[in-house]
Amino acid sequence: MRARKPRPRKAYSGARWKGDLSHAVSKGRKRKSRRPAARDAQPDNGPVENVLADDAEAIGRKAIELAKAGEIAALRMCLDRLAPAPKHEPVVFDLPPLDTASDSVAAAARIVAAVAAGDLTPSEAVDLAKVIDVYVGALATKAFEERLNKLKSAANR
């Protein structure tokens, strides 16, 4: 069997894909997707939404009628609309003053104790811990800026 000769390679032009030129930062060409755009692949819900908008009042009345007749699913839907589950209610909780980053340890301990006692839900505790974390980050940024300003003023002397 005879050995094949290697094929000569094309010179690299910097462009990997055929297509439109991309913005000035990139030197190559923009790659074109082989799949159709996602928007084109999605069904058009316009007519369905129009029908629902036209008959919204009648649909609502029918749901209320079914709920009054004892239909559990319709009753649940009506109650969800009339009295939705409370979300993002303010949490009444006393945090210790956070003057320094080390004060966050006492605040975290108080949050953990409140969860253990049942005064806070775990999700409320997570939200409070995030607030403390952001505040500690702001304190650290402030301290860094103060140190940087001291160094700049010392260097200018």
On whether residue 13 sits in a domain, the answer given is: no
> pTM (2 decimals)?
0.46
Range of the structural domain that residue 132 is part of: 103-156
On whether residue 120 sits in a domain, the answer given is: yes
Q: Which of 63, 55, 68, 62 is nearest to 81 (CA)?
A: 63
Residue 128: is its pLDDT beyond 90? yes
pLDDT tens digits, residue range 13-44? Answer: 555 555 545 455 555 565 666 665 555 555 55
On whether residue 98 sits in a domain, the answer given is: no
On whether residue 108 sits in a domain, the answer given is: yes
Number of structural domains (the chain) is: 2
pLDDT, greater one: 130 or 16: 130
Give dist(CA 129, CA 104) in Å, integer. 9
User: 7-21, 43-57, 85-99, 100-114: which has the minimum mean pLDDT?
Assistant: 7-21
On whether residue 112 sits in a domain, the answer given is: yes
Say how many residues make up the chain.
157
Does residue 66 sit in the same domain as residue 107?
no
Kindly state the percentage of the chain with pLDDT values over 90. 36
